[in-house]
Amino acid sequence: MTSTENPQVGIIMGSDSDWPKIKGVAAALEEFNVAFEVNVMSAHRTPEVVSEYASGALGRGLKVIIAAAGGAAHLAGVAAAHTTLPIIGLPVPTPDLGGLDSLLSTVQMPGDVPVATVAVGMGGPRNAGLLAVQILALADDGLQEKLQQFKQMLTKKIVTKNEKLKESLKT
């Protein structure tokens, strides 16, 4: 559902090779029918592009930016320096350090430049998308209702798994 019509969330990544690792962001947003856009830009190779994108994001109607980067992952911080929008940093796993480098680069922001940071790998991309949905739901009652239903579904899912496990242990 990558939509150029009224996207509310901007997904930016340092390299197109990051997309297979982070596409769970898009899946989470699509699950809640939240329009988004996706772009590749680099904090180090195209800093002017990042600055222009982030500084104009609010005026284009974006409400949240998710910035995914690996290694010296400065994309989220550079974006945060140029906007008042919430920034969600998504550290991308790397072959050398497994993403620890990305995590530390994303989470170690100086005071006055907040970046919310989600996990490296596994649930990180999905959680970045869900966090964006939660932020948007603060001003959207319909989205808030969908989140409530989602939470109830999670509860039912775990209760069912627990019951099945207990039943299997009886035999």
Whether 153 and 76 share a structural domain: no
Whether 154 and 113 share a structural domain: no
Whether 150 and 133 share a structural domain: no
Whether 129 and 161 share a structural domain: no
Domain CATH code at residue 78: 3.40.50.1970
Residue 66 in tokens: 């998710």
Angstrom CA distances, 107 to 68, 71, 75, 129, 161, stand at: 12, 13, 12, 17, 34
Give the structural domain span for 14: 9-139
Q: ∠ CA(117), CA(155), CA(158), 5° rounding?
A: 95
**19-30 burial, b if ≥16 CB within 10 A, otherwise e?**
bebbebbbebbe
Number of domains in the chain: 2
Whether 170 and 114 share a structural domain: no
Model confidence pTM above 0.85: yes
Q: What stretches in the chain show pLDDT beneath 50? A: 1-2
In this prediction, residue 4 carries a pLDDT of 57
CA dist 67 and 40 (Å) reads: 10
